[in-house]
Structure 1
């Protein structure tokens, strides 16, 4: 295996040299292992308004006219109080216990046509035209000291005719696997410093940041194929990235993990989407923090949530996107047993953005080979013909408009058999499935405009740090990961699902449709939601919402 991995790494370095010409993503690293992917990172450029609003202060503006980098004076973030650095930001890593590092790659990127620009008479003018080398940065591991890291270009816009007189984006990569493998401590705060970028104002807005991607092995993980691709996709209209040569085994469930990073995508500037497709069907991704029509929105997220363990931990990173999501695959409706093809499509109707990193961790049979058509193409060899077992979906041409794909409506997992617990809430024998609701008295026909008495069998709990009031409960899970999957599934079917909260006494994550401050309002909304649900065939197997009161 070690020989094969070395061979693949050598090939992938050569492949990235083609990225500037082919405008695509190619494999940097791949492996077959019981493991998974992890990604974190941060922006290193932020808005600044004189002395009253420092670039080091988190930017949470996602609604006003100042929410995009085009309208901002951008300056370096520098959080480390080290006189030897001019820019620095930090983010935490937290891997599962007993994990072993297989690969670690550090990426840094920015728009960098010149050192500084400013706005004069409504036009951007260059006030400092020099452009310093970008190949070397500093990396500090948890409880460690800065180490110099030298990278190689994945893409250099200063030498590309499309970008020379514009924003000149660049992407750098450094293999830091050995640094992490030899580290005394893996979990904790990682700081990256001295990334260079344009400052002040440039046409289209300045942005800069870094991403750390880790492939790790862990005995508790299923057997997966892990494939990390990088390059430079300038997305305006539609671009595809293809993953092949895996074979989904016959197991209980398969939810592929997809990680990625992009530069210069904005909040609500036209539409941008990320679609994920098998050979026949697919879905457009959406989370609580990423809208389906604005998936890349200048945020750094894991699953449904903004990653808070960063310095600064801005909700709006002004042009830096990092994400890690699980792809819904309920009942294998998108990626069936035996499936061996996954296409990721990025599209934009307005602003151009740059995807430079995409990684996939997907269950595969243990007999899978790392050899594939991409390797053969790089070597100049013809791949061995394979028997066609199904009709292949033609990848979308980068010069053609993408056809509309049919979005899959995932099925809701059937409720397991339950036994009634003493607390009046049903106890699930299989904690991977949602917990059933407690039996509640049906509301009477009285008008909810009158003050309704709360029946004695309405379930009430006390939870710290959860807003008091009434919640219309959709289901409950013993893990945050599973409740997030359930919420996504319901949203795909057209069900309103606001979010979830954790009840530590029962170790349950409650998914809820609505929050209402009073029981009268909750009773009215409960009737409305359940009536609408019954009219939607896709929600036929979904249980009625029930009222839970947080005191």
Structure 2
């Protein structure tokens, strides 16, 4: 898609570490502040709404520039079905969403639901077109509940969350190439990396760009998760920022350019769920028509759910 405007997102985790009382203490408090490995914690559901009928819920603020029109919006949700117990796979294609100031509405997946199982994990991702809802409701705090994820303890960790991606038109912003790729691709479980190639970009001089990544089961603190971007045949740029080290990019964070985003709850360690937006301007080269995103890891691996991208372009 090529238009004046851009792409934005809101996201949050559906889980956190389990606390003994109202307030976290000890290892759980340290984890919520950003420390610890995911598999070391017993998890519990985040539940921020006042609805007794939902067992998990979390919210996040979607920012859309004034004067914009939403041209496309998609909601992704996913997690693990196996931790302290086994969740029903039949329920993974259904979720609840409430727009700013609104009530829950049921959303059902409108594409094939991804599911990957190993000896240690049973992960899934689903998604649905929510353009009309976001176009009418605009910016603000969205709440997503009833994601069918398992809580408890597992050697592989327990993880799950959601990301709302919105593409908008705005005549006052630069002409941009906007791309949304999704799948449910295991990275590293076969000891090989995975690449996504974007073509037809027409990158001009002094172009700016950003890329967002949604991933599941990234292990904080283990290292060796690397995301690199290559423009044409130029040198590879390894993505990093203050919240995502170059060798630990999939480290259970929800950030934008290294900064925490507005959400509830807003724990720094999102126990295996990643939804980050990176500045990839240093990777862009004038005249290039192609970018290659390369995901590699030396760990047991993670699941790549979505990649979204924008950069300045020319006709």
Give the alignment's TM-score, normalised by structure 1: 0.53
Ranges in structure 1 where 5+ consecutive residues have no aligned partner: 1-30, 118-125, 367-551
CA contact under 8 A between 1:109 and 1:210: conserved in structure 2? yes
- Residues of 2 paired with 1:235 and 1:149: CA distance? 28
- Residues of 1 paired with 2:67 and 2:151: CA distance? 42
The correspondence of residues 494-509 of structure 1 with structure 2, limited to 5 A, is: none
CA contact under 8 A between 2:76 and 2:128: conserved in structure 1? yes
Return the match for 1:259 from 183, 188, 212.
Answer: 212
What residue is the counterpart of 2:152 in the other structure?
Answer: 200
How far residue 347 of structure 1 moved from its aligned partner, in angstroms, is 0.9
How far residue 346 of structure 1 moved from its aligned partner, in angstroms, is 0.9
How far residue 164 of structure 1 moved from its aligned partner, in angstroms, is 5.5
- Residues of 2 paired with 1:345 and 1:154: CA distance? 24
- Residues of 1 paired with 2:295 and 2:112: CA distance? 19
What residue is the counterpart of 1:89 in the other structure?
Answer: 58
CA contact under 8 A between 2:114 and 2:184: conserved in structure 1? no
Mapped pair 1:138 → 2:108: no
How far residue 338 of structure 1 moved from its aligned partner, in angstroms, is 2.1
Q: CA 1:32 to 1:239, structure 2 compared with 1: closer, same or farther past 3 Å?
A: same
1:456-501 C-alpha deviation (Å, 9 max, x unpaired): xxxxxxxxxxxxxxxxxxxxxxxxxxxxxxxxxxxxxxxxxxxxxx
- Residues of 2 paired with 1:75 and 1:342: CA distance? 39
Mapped pair 1:103 → 2:75: no
How far residue 224 of structure 1 moved from its aligned partner, in angstroms, is 1.1
What residue is the counterpart of 2:293 in the other structure?
Answer: 344
Return the match for 2:143 from 176, 191, 205.
Answer: 191
Q: Does the residue aligned with 1:199 lie in a helix, a strand or coil?
A: coil
How far residue 156 of structure 1 moved from its aligned partner, in angstroms, is 3.3
The alignment yields a C-alpha RMSD, in angstroms, of 2.2
CA contact under 8 A between 1:132 and 1:196: conserved in structure 2? no
What residue is the counterpart of 1:172 in the other structure?
Answer: 126
Return the match for 1:51 from 4, 18, 21.
Answer: 21
Ranges in structure 2 where 5+ consecutive residues have no aligned partner: none
Q: Does the residue aligned with 2:132 lie in a helix, a strand or coil?
A: helix
Mapped pair 1:354 → 2:303: yes
**Higher-strand-fraction structure:** 2
Q: Does the residue aligned with 1:203 lie in a helix, a strand or coil?
A: coil
- Residues of 2 paired with 1:196 and 1:347: CA distance? 28
1:101-136 C-alpha deviation (Å, 9 max, x unpaired): 0111000010113xx52xxxxxxxx5x675551211
Return the match for 1:60 from 29, 32, 45.
Answer: 32
Return the match for 2:185 from 233, 255, 258.
Answer: 233
What residue is the counterpart of 2:9 in the other structure?
Answer: 39
How far residue 50 of structure 1 moved from its aligned partner, in angstroms, is 2.8
The correspondence of residues 371-450 of structure 1 with structure 2, limited to 5 A, is: none
1:332-372 C-alpha deviation (Å, 9 max, x unpaired): xx433321010011111123111110011122222xxxxxx
Give the alignment's TM-score, normalised by structure 2: 0.91
1:429-462 C-alpha deviation (Å, 9 max, x unpaired): xxxxxxxxxxxxxxxxxxxxxxxxxxxxxxxxxx
- Residues of 1 paired with 2:165 and 2:23: CA distance? 31
Q: Does the residue aligned with 2:39 lie in a helix, a strand or coil?
A: helix
CA contact under 8 A between 2:87 and 2:148: conserved in structure 1? no
What residue is the counterpart of 1:150 in the other structure?
Answer: 108
Mapped pair 1:209 → 2:147: no
CA contact under 8 A between 2:81 and 2:88: conserved in structure 1? no
Return the match for 2:266 from 313, 321, 325.
Answer: 313
- Residues of 1 paired with 2:281 and 2:203: CA distance? 14
What residue is the counterpart of 2:197 in the other structure?
Answer: 242
Q: Does the residue aligned with 1:265 lie in a helix, a strand or coil?
A: coil
How far residue 198 of structure 1 moved from its aligned partner, in angstroms, is 1.3
- Residues of 2 paired with 1:58 and 1:149: CA distance? 35
- Residues of 2 paired with 1:326 and 1:49: CA distance? 35
Larger radius of gyration, structure 1 or 2? 1
What residue is the counterpart of 1:292 in the other structure?
Answer: 246
How far residue 149 of structure 1 moved from its aligned partner, in angstroms, is 0.8
- Residues of 1 paired with 2:112 and 2:156: CA distance? 22
Q: Does the residue aligned with 1:350 lie in a helix, a strand or coil?
A: coil
Higher relative contact order (CA 8 A, sep 6+): 2
Alignment: residue pair count: 309
How far residue 210 of structure 1 moved from its aligned partner, in angstroms, is 0.3
